[in-house]
Chain A
Amino acid sequence: QSALTQPASVSGSPGQSITISCTGTSSDVGGYNYVSWYQQYPGKAPKVMIYEVSYRPSGVSNRFSGSKSGNTASLTISGLQAEDDADYYCSSYTSGSTLNVFGTGTKVTVL
């Protein structure tokens, strides 16, 4: 099972919006509405930001939103803030012998 494909880096200025893509196949992203997104600061554990493509857990800012089209899921961060500077990973449920696959990760830099 290959990792989902994400851009290595995305950057934006405070207040701007950015979008991170997550591309898989019909066996994972395209086959199920079970894509989640995680934020990770250096040396810290990941934190879920979005689950089931577009649901936000309690306590997560509404500046974070998720969507999916075909085999590609997307995470949009609007009104970019300095605290959004972190690594972001997507994950998807997958058919076959394994259960889950993560994306390659994206470093978001707030300029």
Chain B
Amino acid sequence: EVQLLESGGGLVQPGGSLRLSCAASGFTFSNYAMSWVRQAPGKGLEWVSTISGRGGGTYYADSVKGRFTISRDNSMNTLYLQMHSLRAEDTAVYYCAKTLGGLAAPDKYNWFDPWGQGTLVTVSS
């Protein structure tokens, strides 16, 4: 059974930093891209970032580019999201998700299955 378990969320002051982790099990981690998707309280889903299976390709939403860094350790089956210069608008539940590409274009990462249970990040003074 595929399992994804996020950790590292918490309360941080504006301008602060936080690192999220996502421990994966039940599949060959290095064979799959992984993503972070967030959801602000009472709001919709927002794609944040995706990293390819070997880590050579990284992609970011404009709202986090230059502040967040996605990475992975395939030897530890773990995905990370390093967040700097945090703002109030970054407050959200952050989900990690196994990410799949098109049947005919595997590098066009476009759907997410499954998702972890999420970890809450609150940016407030």
Contacts and interface: CB of A to CB of B under 8 A. Distances in A.
B1 interface: no
B50 A99 contact: yes
Nearest to B105: A34
Contact of A91 (B60, B62, B65, B111): B111
Contacts of A93: 102, 108-110
A64 B105 CA distance: 24
Interface in B75-113: 95, 100, 102-103, 108-113
Contact residues on B (Cβ < 8 Å of other chain), bracket: 20 to 34
Interface string A35-72: 01010100001111001100101000000000000000
A91 B47 contact: yes
Interface string A88-110: 01011100011111111100000
A64 B17 CA distance: 41
A40 to B, nearest CB: 8
A38 B109 contact: no
B114 interface: yes
A52 B111 contact: yes
Tell me the interface secondary structure of chain B in the complex. strand
Contact of B111 (A3, A34, A45, A98): A34
B117 interface: yes
B59 to A, nearest CB: 4
Q: Most chain-A CB neighbours within 10 Å: which of B35, B44, B100, B103? A: B44
Interface of B: 35, 37, 44-47, 50, 59-62, 65, 95, 100, 102-103, 108-118
30 contacts: A1-B61, A1-B62, A36-B111, A36-B112, A38-B45, A40-B45, A45-B117, A45-B118, A46-B45, A46-B112, A48-B111, A51-B111, A52-B103, A91-B45, A91-B47, A91-B110, A91-B111, A91-B112, A93-B108, A98-B47, A98-B59, A98-B60, A98-B61, A99-B47, A100-B50, A102-B37, A102-B44, A102-B47, A105-B44, A105-B45
Interface of A: 1, 3, 32-34, 36, 38, 40, 45-48, 51-52, 55, 57, 89, 91-93, 97-105
